[in-house]
Chains A and B, each alone.
Chain A
């Protein structure tokens, strides 16, 4: 029952997904001693070798690389009159786990917000008359400007080998890209992915209607890429197994392909898997932290002292850790006081499936991010997008018509109050 105490490090990183791996490498490059703790298991290249990932039943249906409801019990209720009940089977969302987190198997559609998105309250106040927003709406401004944040969007795009067509380069509107995007300081690092037949049809139809379609910004890279950390990412081979799958071709930007190879080589970085952080230990001032308590693979309770504690276990679990650790004021949905746990945002989408008897689509020949989209409808809050493979269903032709749970959301991992409507999904030609 005795608690093991580890040697103090400069930084302990709780959760080794995108945020955790990027924090780790940046702080390690700055010379700090960094130790990362990951609740889940190792996820490394032997797991990704073809043909393992080409298994739709295991990954898409049985959520092979996701956390299980047993491991990460979540209770859900629809309003405060109900008692929250445990989720036994993932439906609308499924949390990631393991080294790489959900970043290992995301669909790699990497879209920037616009300058309007990050200052939405200001925009509404300026563009509409007072009182247009209902009183309980939570529209706010983010506490940074486009000029401050844009260089970091670009930095992450370099890390990922972002592939697409530039629409606005330092204020100059360029053909083929999104004319509504915020001004880029630099063009996309790589050209866009190839369009599939359904994308070409969508693009033609949208253009004829006066919209401005452009290729989905993609972190499935279109060319061989070496990123600023020295990691190499291979060009996508349009295998069709993307969302919910590890990439069998090293082509999808992920913590593994974009960060971990360089990070693991650094002598001032170490990490432990099957290490579940349960509490951040605070100093007596209750405003600063001195380390974390976690349970290791053998079930031992361990105290990891650190000068800096980074919570990077995904918003849902970061909030849980903060609540368990007594950090900040918990959000109270009745009195509307407190911040921790407030405004958890989730993405929903819908769509329509169209069938064309006279056309042959080969819907399995696609990347995860393949698609065309346009932002004409409302630049700030909604996009209409054709996506050939976001469904990542190669062997099913259509979804079951009746659903009891909300449609499964593939973009749930990206935060932000985006309402997206997918209006086009390819189907195979009926014989």
Chain B
């Protein structure tokens, strides 16, 4: 979208799920890896 983070590789590298922006069920789960990959603002998935 802005010219960087191609294929969301940077987000994959640091384990960031992108623009999901809803974690009501996850905030209480401590020390549990988030299982889903990143989603971009344009709706792409990695």
Contact = CB atoms under 8 A, between A and B. Distances in A.
Interface of A: 50-51, 53-55, 57, 194, 196-197, 200, 235, 237-241, 248-249, 359-362, 364-367, 370, 394-397, 428, 431
Contacts of A366: 23, 27
Contact of B32 (A50, A51, A238, A360): A360
B16 A365 contact: no
A239 B41 contact: no
B42 to A, nearest CB: 9
A422 B29 CA distance: 24
A365 B19 contact: no
Interface of B: 1-2, 10-11, 14-17, 19-24, 26-34, 41
A239 to B, nearest CB: 4
Contacts of B15: 428, 431
Contacts of A396: 14
A397 B15 CA distance: 10
Given A51-B41, A428-B14, A238 B30 contact: no
A50 B21 contact: yes
27 contacts: A51-B19, A51-B21, A53-B21, A54-B20, A54-B21, A54-B41, A55-B19, A55-B41, A197-B31, A237-B21, A238-B22, A238-B23, A239-B22, A240-B21, A248-B21, A360-B31, A361-B31, A362-B34, A364-B23, A366-B23, A366-B27, A367-B27, A394-B16, A395-B10, A396-B14, A428-B15, A428-B16
B16 A196 contact: no
Contacts of A196: 27, 30
Nearest to A57: B2
B35 to A, nearest CB: 11
A119 to B, nearest CB: 38
Contact of B27 (A241, A360, A365, A431): A365
Contacts of B28: 194
Given A54-B19, A365-B34, A238 B10 contact: no
B9 to A, nearest CB: 12
A54 B27 CA distance: 18
B45 to A, nearest CB: 13
Contacts of A361: 31
Q: Which of B19, B29, B32 has the most A CB atoms < 10 Å from its CB?
A: B19
Contacts of B23: 237-240, 362, 364-366
A55 to B, nearest CB: 6
Contacts of A57: 1-2
Given A54-B41, A55-B41, A365-B34, A238 B27 contact: yes
A364 B27 contact: no
A370 to B, nearest CB: 8
A241 B33 CA distance: 20
A47 to B, nearest CB: 15
A245 to B, nearest CB: 10
Contacts of B20: 54
A364 B19 contact: no
B11 to A, nearest CB: 6
Nearest to B23: A365
Q: Which of A241, A360, A396 has the most B CB atoms < 10 Å from its CB?
A: A360
Contact of A237 (B24, B29, B33, B41): B24
